[in-house]
């Protein structure tokens, strides 16, 4: 008697994949923009502070949500806290994919935001760009917007990170499908 086996193809796409990037962020003036932070990437704290100031100057309201431990009771509380925070924002800027596990949680949280109907962009460094896209596809959101920053980044001083924040801001707006004001969008 011959045994039957089932061979799975690890390269296959999900049948329920959502290849859409989701809604554009649009005109940011008047919107509620949320930055997802974590515990380890000081560079992302600095860049998000820089970008938040620009969003506030444009008339947006900005909030921050910081990811902490994600297992056990604390992890369950984090999941509830993330869900509650997502209900308070129109646009999510989710970072930072800059290592293996942090890329996993960044993309997981970005998918949660996108699936909640929030205009979402994940932020990754160059070394983790491909991994971020791979995880997004495996999570069923292959079209997830990913904005890429240079690598290495966290090892830089504040004085070295600030020019990166400035240099990559316009690109972030482009990936988000965003403009600071209606006048800028019309131009």
Predicted pLDDT of residue 177: 97
Is residue 110 a contact partner of residue 92, using CB atoms and an 8 Å limit? Answer: yes
pLDDT category, 8, cuts 50, 70, 90? confident
How confident is the model over 151-172, as a mean pLDDT? 97
Q: What percent of the chain has pLDDT over 90?
A: 87
Predicted pLDDT of residue 68: 93
Q: What percent of the chain has pLDDT over 70?
A: 98
d(CA 157, CA 164): 11
Residue 12 has pLDDT above 80, yes or no: no
Is residue 153 a contact partner of residue 98, using CB atoms and an 8 Å limit? Answer: yes
How confident is the model over 3-9, as a mean pLDDT? 85
Provide the whole-model pTM: 0.92
Predicted pLDDT of residue 93: 98
d(CA 169, CA 173): 6
Q: What are 32-41's pLDDT values in tens digits?
A: 999 999 999 9
Q: What are 60-95's pLDDT values in tens digits?
A: 999 999 999 989 999 999 999 999 999 999 999 999
Q: What are 18-29's pLDDT values in tens digits?
A: 999 999 999 999
């Amino acid at each position: 008697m011959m045994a039957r086996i089932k061979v799975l193809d690890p390269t296959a796409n999900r049948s329920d994949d959502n290849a859409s990037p989701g809604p554009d962020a649009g005109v940011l003036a008047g919107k509620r923009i949320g930055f997802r932070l974590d515990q380890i990437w000081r560079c992302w704290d600095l860049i998000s502070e820089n970008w938040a100031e620009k969003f506030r100057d444009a008339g947006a309201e900005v909030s921050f949500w910081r990811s902490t431990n994600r297992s056990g009771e604390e992890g369950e509380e984090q999941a509830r806290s993330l869900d509650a925070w997502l209900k308070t924002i129109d646009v999510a800027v989710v970072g930072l994919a800059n290592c293996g596990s942090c890329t996993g949680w960044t993309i997981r949280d970005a998918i949660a935001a996108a699936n909640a109907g929030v205009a979402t962009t994940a932020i990754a460094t160059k070394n983790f760009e491909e991994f971020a896209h791979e995880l997004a596809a495996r999570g069923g959101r292959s079209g997830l917007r990913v904005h890429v920053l240079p690598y290495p980044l966290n090892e830089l001083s504040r004085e070295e990170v600030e020019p990166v924040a400035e240099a990559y801001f316009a690109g972030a707006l482009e990936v988000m499908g965003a403009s600071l004001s209606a006048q800028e969008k019309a131009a």
